[in-house]
Amino acid sequence: MIDIKSNSRRFNHKDLERVEKKVGASFPQEYVNFLRKYNGGEVENSIVELPLEEIESFILSSFFGTRVEDINDILSCYATFENRIPKGCVPIGRDVGGNIICLNLNTEKYGAIFLWDHDTELDFDENEMDIQDLYYVA
């Protein structure tokens, strides 16, 4: 089980609306409930095993929140990675190696969680990476 030390910033629905407007899609209700409870934070006991992938596991370090003032907020991370991760994906967390945990908001596989491995980024041009180039997490 993953333990999350919740972000000290309280969830605000207006912050969520700002994020959803920027990314051009609504988040799944299950993820909205997660944001209401934690709104980002540091992770402990965080080894995540991947099903049937060449990367067998990764160590999750943090989840991003919706508060714009935070260093690790969803919007600033989205601005950093939007042309590097597949279209329709939103960065929601990070592992200890600097890889990004993404939430898929595309119609196909909506709500699925993927791992973006920064080591594979050099194999693609900007905006060329697709969802099948990520590692399925959940």
Whole-number Å distance between alpha carbons of 33 and 85: 24
CATH placement of domain 3-136: 3.40.1580.10
Q: Is the pLDDT of residue 71 over 90?
A: no
**Which residue from 72, 125, 79, 134 is spatially nearest to 102, judged by alpha carbons?**
134
Stretch 23-47: mean pLDDT, rounded?
91
Evaluate whether 116 touches 97 at the Cβ level (below 8 Å): no
- Of 5-14, 22-31, 91-100, the least confident: 5-14
Average pLDDT over residues 36-45: 87
Decide which of 90 and 69 is more confident: 90
Q: Checking phi first, is residue 111 left (phi over 0); if not, alpha (psi -120 to 50) or beta?
A: left
Examine the pLDDT at 90 and tell me if it is beyond 90.
yes
> Burial, 41: exposed, middle or buried (Cβ in 10 Å; 0-12, 13-18, 19+)?
buried
Q: Three-state SS string across 25-41, please?
A: CCCCHHHHHHHHHCCCE
Burial of 122 (0-12, 13-18, 19+ CB in 10 A): exposed
Do residues 34 and 43 touch, judged by C-beta distance below 8 A? no
pLDDT for residue 6? 74
Reply yes or no on whether the pLDDT at 138 is more than 80. yes
Quote the pTM value. 0.90
Q: What is the pLDDT of residue 8?
A: 65
Asked if pLDDT for residue 105 goes beyond 70, the answer is yes
**Cβ–Cβ under 8 Å, residues 100 and 93:** yes
How is the chain split into domains, by residue range? 3-136
Which residue's structure tokens are 């965080």? Answer: 46
